[in-house]
Amino acid sequence: MPKLALKTETKQAKKTETALRASSERAQREHRASISADFKAAFAVLEAKLNQTQTTVAEHGEQIDCLETNANLQDQRLRILEEKCAVLADSNAKLAAKAADLEGRSRRNNIRIIGLPESIEGPRPTTFFSELLVELLGNETLQSPPELDRAHRAPAARPQPGARPRPVILRLHRYQVKDLIVREARKRRGDLSYRGTPVQIYEDFTQEITLGSGAKKRFPSPLEAVAFAAGYEREPAN
């Protein structure tokens, strides 16, 4: 009887072991299937994201190619514009030099008088300043009032009382007379006066010459440059 019970227990234990093994194997298979499904789902998501990333990268590559093409085109246009700008700058410099030369020639017969009080010329400035030149330089230099083509104040706003008067610009009809006046005024620099007011007479230089640029003409002395530049303050080129 005990042997029979032992055999029965042994069989039961084997059945239990077999059942447990089968259950364990089934659980392992289910677990592997679950893990496999999770991996497949994760890989599917990663693949979708990777495809999206690849699409985005491809689009960015196309955009970069387009930007590089446009940059090259802009670079070519910029080089062309720089070349044209250089040509225009050269042409402008030549035109400016011509304009300065023409302006200098147009002022060849001009003189500029600094220091004369405002409004002394009255309604007939040409006659007044022509006679004033004789008064300033004397009959030994000018036997008669020189012929003037034009006489006027520098084109600037009328100064306030007590402020520096505007320069007077005179255009002599004859260059020889203008040259004589300038040379004589240079000899008497510091000695010329009108009713006690110091007066200076200079050539009517252009601003380019006054500032020491450009034209191949006689440059003013430092004193001339300072006084003449003062006459240009707040006034356009004549």
Q: Give pTM, 2 decimals.
A: 0.56
- 76 against 3, higher pLDDT: 76
**SS3 assignment, position 105:** helix
The yes-or-no verdict on residue 233 having pLDDT over 60 is no
**SS3 assignment, position 168:** strand
Angstrom CA distances, 237 to 100, 112, 206, stand at: 11, 13, 7
- 233 against 16, higher pLDDT: 16
The yes-or-no verdict on residue 70 having pLDDT over 90 is yes
| pLDDT single digits (tens) 75-113 | 999 999 999 999 999 999 999 999 988 988 999 999 999
pLDDT grade for 26, boundaries at 50, 70 and 90: confident
Percent of the chain clearing pLDDT 70 (strictly above)? 85
Q: What is the pLDDT of residue 235?
A: 39
Of 12-16, 227-231, 232-236, minimum mean pLDDT range: 232-236
* Pairwise CA distance, residues 160 & 65, whole Å: 68
Query: Is 125 within 8 Å of 151 (Cβ atoms)?
Result: yes
Q: What is the pLDDT of residue 29?
A: 86
pLDDT grade for 25, boundaries at 50, 70 and 90: confident
* Pairwise CA distance, residues 68 & 66, whole Å: 5
| pLDDT single digits (tens) 195-227 | 989 999 999 888 777 676 444 444 455 454 444
DSSP string, 30-68: HHHHHHHHHHHHHHHHHHHHHHHHHHHHHHHHHHHHHHH
| pLDDT single digits (tens) 164-205 | 999 999 999 999 999 999 999 999 888 899 998 999 999 988
Q: Quick one: tokens of 228?
A: 């003449």
